[in-house]
Amino acid sequence: MGVGVGLGIAEFPFSSARKFWEWIELCEEGGVDSFWQIDRMVSREPFLECMSSMAALAGATKKLKFGMNVASVGLRDPLLLAKECATIDFLSEGRLLPAFGIGNNAAPVWKATGRPTKRRGIRTNEALELITRLWKEDSVTFEGEFYQYHEACISPKPVQKKIPLWLGGSSDAAIRRTARYGTGWLAGLETPQRVAPVIAGIKEAAKEAGRPIDADHFGASFPFRFGDGTDDATKRQIEAFRKRPGLKDRDPNHYFAIGDTEDVIAKLREFVAAGAFKFVMRPIANNDDEMMSQTQRLIDEVFPVVYDKGFEASAAS
């Protein structure tokens, strides 16, 4: 319990599958808490599909936990998604960290597939109820606007009797959704200042719903780079950041951790002070060697500090 630092990727940054598995081995042996794959189904850039990546990780690792950051429930069939998660959790002996969201309405997959974004929040709520019931119940009957199930069941069930359910999103609807269905919340690319009120809102809504969420089950995501920020990889990340809707005039330094070891640790401290304890950090790197070296520095220089017993107390003070 407490602080946990995981690593994630968006587009595939490696030159080959073999290099990816070498990096995963480093993560597992180096004490990385978990691996997270961003969900992007339609793109010209290479992105791993998140659910099949989870299945591959189940067979290729022994200790590493893994999750989706976050899988768009509005684009997937809930019975298939529940079955996939249960199977992966069963085969990995309880290492899956399911994480779901409604899907960004600006994502190209909606237009590419002709699917409507309207009422995707209601569709997601129905799907989440079905998924959580299928994980626990032997017979699920449900009559909703989008889904109608009659005595549906899956087996085997997840190994984790209280399998976690992490949710994303920071809107009022997302806060209510997390309070109703979630056991944890994972922020997207946000600052500690923007994360803090969402965490407070979820805690209050969960308390009102009679299902409080553990204090250390709130997470944040951000890219990091050991260096001065003048490298090509960091420049590309910042350029991409400024092209995102609503972020053009914001300072990327508030969203990224770029600099030396103390700069990365300082960003983690800010998030812990804001109420986030679980992290998905994305290395900014140009090539295979940099992915390995950036990760190794995180393991060697940051982990000893953040996993020290006094880190949480000092960050909160």
CA angle 38–43–47, rounded 5-degree value: 40
Q: What does the alpha-carbon distance between residue 14 and residue 19 come to, in Å, rounded to a whole number? A: 6
Average pLDDT over residues 194-216: 95
Give the chain's length.
317
Domain holding 308: CATH number?
A: 3.20.20.30
Closest CA to 312 of 269, 264, 263: 269
Confidence class for position 294, pLDDT limits 50, 70, 90 = very high
Q: Is residue 88 part of a domain?
A: yes
Structurally, how many domains does the chain consist of?
Answer: 1
Average pLDDT over residues 2-12: 96
The answer to whether 132 and 181 are in contact (CB under 8 A) is yes
Q: Is residue 116 part of a domain?
A: no
What residues make up the domain containing 264?
Answer: 4-103+163-316
What is the model's pLDDT at position 194? 95
The pLDDT tens digits for 110-154 are 999 999 999 999 999 999 999 999 999 999 999 999 999 999 999
What is the model's pLDDT at position 105? 85
**The dihedral formed by the CA atoms of 288, 294, 295 and 298, expressed in degrees to the nearest 10:** 180
Confidence class for position 1, pLDDT limits 50, 70, 90 = low
Tokens at 111, concatenated: 């237009």
Q: What is the DSSP letter of 61?
A: -
Q: Is residue 75 part of a domain?
A: yes
What is the Cα 189 distance to its own chain's centre? Answer: 11
The answer to whether 54 and 86 are in contact (CB under 8 A) is no
Confidence class for position 298, pLDDT limits 50, 70, 90 = very high
Q: Is 142 exposed, middle or buried (0-12, 13-18, 19+ CB in 10 A)?
A: middle
Q: Which ranges constitute the DSSP H helices of 30-139?
A: 50-60, 78-91, 108-113, 120-136
Could you give the 3-state DSSP secondary structure of residue 285?
coil
Q: Which residues pair with 88 in a beta bridge?
A: none
Q: Is residue 175 part of a domain?
A: yes
Q: Is residue 61 part of a domain?
A: yes
What is the model's pLDDT at position 289? 97
The pLDDT tens digits for 57-113 are 999 999 999 999 999 998 999 999 999 999 999 999 999 999 999 988 888 999 999
The single residue listed with the structure tokens 């994502």 is 107
What is the model's pLDDT at position 244? 83
Q: Is residue 138 part of a domain?
A: no
Q: Is residue 152 part of a domain?
A: no
Q: What does the alpha-carbon distance between residue 109 and residue 262 come to, in Å, rounded to a whole number? A: 39
The answer to whether 74 and 123 are in contact (CB under 8 A) is yes
Strand ranges, E, within the chain: 4-9, 34-37, 65-68, 71-72, 96-97, 99-101, 140-143, 148-152, 166-167, 184-189, 218-226, 257-259, 278-283
Q: What does the alpha-carbon distance between residue 14 and residue 50 come to, in Å, rounded to a whole number? A: 16
Q: Is residue 257 part of a domain?
A: yes
What is the model's pLDDT at position 221? 96
Phi, psi dihedrals of residue 235, rounded to the nearest 5°: -60, -40
